[in-house]
Amino acid sequence: MVYRATPKTRARKQAQREQLLAAARACVAEGGFAATSVQAVAASAGIATGSVYRHFPSKAELFVEVFSQASSREVQTMARAADGHPTASEALAAAVGVWASRALEGRTLAYALIAEPVMPEVEAARLRFRRAYVDVLRAVLQRGCDRGEFSLPSVEVAAAAIVGALAEALVGPLSLEDPPEDLIEHLTHFCLQAVTPSHTP
């Protein structure tokens, strides 16, 4: 007889998987990927280490899922911040502000997502989500160009440049106990200046 999992069994397995992911994310948020072991995740989740591999065949697959969940949440938060503003300038400022402020609130996790050296599988996920951030900003910049707020020869290049600039500008401050209080203000000003037409002869 072929075994078929019951709805109750599937629900219990899914609940344990989510419990593992929550524990892994907490470990990464505390010490980064390098300091997170499968044993630590299992202990934090309150299950046996061997049980982790029933859900994730390898540490790499576990880390990719943790990275993807955390990054997806940040992309969605940035997109929501950009929505509902009457001007593209306000949308861009909101998107930049919320991304930077969340990074500074959770510096260890933010560094892990942005710049921590990671295994190739996680680095591949990082590149995919870098593309997702670019897509959010590209939509904002395109709206600004369509309405005459922004002047850009290439919306695609500008969006990618802003994402890269934000990531690079945050790497240093994320390691500081007290990042500059005006950092977000300066980042927002830089991004707006970069896309706004200059009226100076």
pLDDT of res. 4: 65
Residue 129 gets the label, from left (phi > 0), alpha (psi -120 to 50) or beta, of: alpha
> What is the overall mean pLDDT for the chain?
93
* The token pair that represents 139 in the structure block: 């939509």
pTM to 2 decimals? 0.90
Q: Which of 99, 140, 108, 115 is nearest to 35 (CA)?
A: 108
Which 8-state DSSP code applies to residue 148? Answer: T
- Per-residue pLDDT tens for 91-129? 999 999 999 999 999 999 999 999 999 999 999 999 999
If one counts every other C-beta atom within 10 angstroms of the C-beta of residue 11, the result is: 11
Q: Which residue has the higher pLDDT, 8 or 107?
A: 107
pLDDT band with cut points at 50, 70 and 90 for residue 3: low
**Domains of the chain, each with CATH number or no CATH:** 1-57 (1.10.10.60), 60-195 (1.10.357.10)
- Per-residue pLDDT tens for 130-160? 999 999 999 999 999 999 999 999 999 999 9
pLDDT of res. 177: 87
- Per-residue pLDDT tens for 160-169? 999 999 999 9
**Residue 9: what residue type?**
T
Average pLDDT of 165-178?
Answer: 93
Backbone angles phi, psi at 61, to 5 degrees: -65, -40
